[in-house]
A = this chain, B = another copy of it.
Amino acid sequence: MKTQYRTMGIDDAPFKFRDRNVSVVGAVVRGNSYLEGVLKTEVMVDGRNANKKLSGMINNSRFREQIKVVMIDGAALGGFNVVDIGKLYKDTGVPVITITRNKPDYTKIKSALRKHFKDWERRYEIITKNEIFRIKTKHNPIHVGLAGITLNKAETIIRQTTLRGALPETVRIAHLIATGITKGESYGKA
Instruction: Please report A residues at the B interface, Cβ cutoff 8 Å.
Output: 23, 25, 33-41, 57, 60-62, 163, 173, 176-177, 179-182, 184-186
Contacts and interface: CB of A to CB of B under 8 A. Distances in A.
A40 B180 contact: yes
Contact of A185 (B34, B37, B179): B37
Nearest to A40: B181
Contacts of A34: 33, 163
Nearest to A36: B176
A60 B173 CA distance: 21
A180 B33 contact: no
Contacts of A38: 176-177, 179-181, 185-186
Contacts of A35: 35, 173, 176
Given A37-B176, A38-B181, A39-B186, 15 more contacts: A33-B33, A36-B176, A38-B177, A38-B179, A38-B185, A39-B185, A40-B182, A40-B184, A40-B185, A41-B184, A57-B184, A60-B184, A60-B185, A177-B180, A181-B181
**Most chain B C-beta atoms within 10 Å of own C-beta, residue among A23, A38, A60, A177:** A38
**Most chain B C-beta atoms within 10 Å of own C-beta, residue among A60, A62, A186:** A186
Contacts of A41: 184
Contacts of A39: 180, 184-186
A36 B169 CA distance: 11
Contacts of A36: 176
A133 to B, nearest CB: 28
